[in-house]
Structure 1
Amino acid sequence: MSATDRLSLIQWLSPGFPTGGFAYSHGLEQAMADGLRDPEAVADWVSHVLARGGGWTDAVILSLVLRGEDADELADLARAMAGSAERLIETMDQGRAFAATVAALTGRDMPPRPLPVAVGVAAHGLALSPDEVIAHYLHAFAANLVSAAMRFLPLGQVRGQTLLAGLHGAIAQSAARAAEADRAALGTGCAGADLAAMRHETLETRIFRT
């Protein structure tokens, strides 16, 4: 059962799943427009977001849903935790698309919720450990940001994949921490990323919605 469950999770979090994730950069486009062009600096930016930014709050909320806490209450909390208007759009639009597609595939009732809550509800019944589900989620999160960097910067496919592979340790570490975290662990410490997301709202020429 866990093999087919794992394949379902991989499908849900793959770039081909129609959540529109390719349209969002989580503020990274603004940071790159401001001069964040070095691949190592991009990797550092993403790793900080995973450890103490939006990736971390998503991971904790996902963990709480997987461990059976009330999804609607956590959906309200996820909306409140969004640090900017674009961040709210990002999680709500992707969560809505994710829920609608999973509902069509499975016949389950999946009301629209922020993305980590929607993923947690869908994955709650899978025979997979919370840390594995969270790690897959964070990998998809990081891969989307690396893909955004590859479209904005002259990284190339191999350099981009090398950058993503270098983030595997940070992904696994954040997933393990989040799997045991409670609500007191919710909080962010990535002011630069939050400010970039806010400033992106007025960026004149853009590739991404956020």
Structure 2
Amino acid sequence: MPAAALLQLIWLASPALPIGGFSYSEGIEAGVEWGGIDSEARASDWIADQLHLSLARGDLPVVAQSITAWRSADAPRIAALNGWVLQTRESTEFLLQTEQMGRSFVEWLKLHHDDVAAQFEGLAVTITYPVAFAFAASRTQASVRDGCLAFAFGWAENMIGTAVKSVPLGQSAGQRMLGRLSAEIPAAVDRAIALDDDERQAFSPMLAIHSARHETQYSRLFRS
């Protein structure tokens, strides 16, 4: 990959990007309270399971398919993928997260690209985060696979940062967990890219229950 494309992907996937990703735990904080996440091993297993059972069967296929759709200017396809994400969020918190991060991502892109606003004019709904990320990735020279790898790694960094703060764990534990996730992400991405529309799914009932319980959790650091 050209150096410029690689650096763009690293930038787009960074948890430091000002789109609010660092403020969401995606169920981990509730998992600490009610799901038995009380150690490095359990936190690592939880995030790995979420990678394979949730992300790789839902958002990652959407990112892959959306990159292709953006590059071919297929507006109906983009709208359909975006609608699928909105319809399959299983809690209010998850829905608000993907809407807020998608909206913030688009606003951030407008600061760097004059033509971004025009690209979204034909879509009358809020752009979700996976579709917004795919738009940005589609404008680089990166392959679909590399775009998905970047998306997954950025997600993993956010999730591990959440676990470090909420379990809590040390920084060395976080790095060991990130090493494990880095080894498992490529296979998860390959499976995600191979999925057809009727194979995507967003069925993680216990994760949805934890997310719903998080809405009224007594003491919390994160927005989901």
**Contact persistence 1:64–1:182 (CA under 8 A):** no
Which structure's CA Rg is the greater one?
Answer: 2
**Contact persistence 1:25–1:208 (CA under 8 A):** yes
> How many residue pairs are counted as aligned between the two chains?
210
Please, which of 169, 178, 182 is the counterpart of residue 183 of structure 2? Answer: 169
Could you tell me which amino acid in structure 1 is paired with residue 39 of structure 2? D
Q: 1:2–1:180: structure 2 CA closer, same or farther, 3 Å change rule?
A: farther
Instruction: Give every structure 1 segment of 4 or more consecutive aligned residues whose post-TM-superposition deviation is greater than 3 Å.
Output: none
1:98 aligns with 2:99: no
Match of 1:144?
Answer: 158
**Contact persistence 1:49–1:56 (CA under 8 A):** no
**By how many angstroms is 1:16 displaced?**
1.6
Q: Write out aligned runs for 1:80-99 (5 A).
A: 80-99=87-106
Match of 1:181?
Answer: 195
CA distance in 2, matches of 1:178, 1:54: 9
**Contact persistence 1:15–1:21 (CA under 8 A):** yes
Match of 2:143?
Answer: 129
Match of 2:169?
Answer: 155
**By how many angstroms is 1:106 displaced?**
1.7
**By how many angstroms is 1:53 displaced?**
1.2
**By how many angstroms is 1:81 displaced?**
1.3
TM-score w.r.t. structure 1 length? 0.94
Match of 2:209?
Answer: 195
Q: 1:95–1:40: structure 2 CA closer, same or farther, 3 Å change rule?
A: same
Residue segments in structure 2 that go unaligned for 5+ positions in a row: 121-125
Q: 1:108–1:40: structure 2 CA closer, same or farther, 3 Å change rule?
A: farther
CA distance in 2, matches of 1:170, 1:115: 22
**Contact persistence 1:79–1:88 (CA under 8 A):** yes
SS of 2:112's equivalent in the other structure is helix
TM-score w.r.t. structure 2 length? 0.88
Q: Write out aligned runs for 1:9-158 (5 A).
A: 9-34=9-34, 35-54=36-55, 56-68=57-69, 70-110=77-117, 111=120, 112-158=126-172
**Contact persistence 1:86–1:201 (CA under 8 A):** yes
Q: 1:125–1:100: structure 2 CA closer, same or farther, 3 Å change rule?
A: same
**By how many angstroms is 1:54 displaced?**
4.2
**Contact persistence 1:123–1:133 (CA under 8 A):** yes
Identity value in percent: 27
**By how many angstroms is 1:186 displaced?**
1.0
**Contact persistence 1:48–1:190 (CA under 8 A):** no
CA distance in 2, matches of 1:146, 1:185: 28
**By how many angstroms is 1:20 displaced?**
0.9
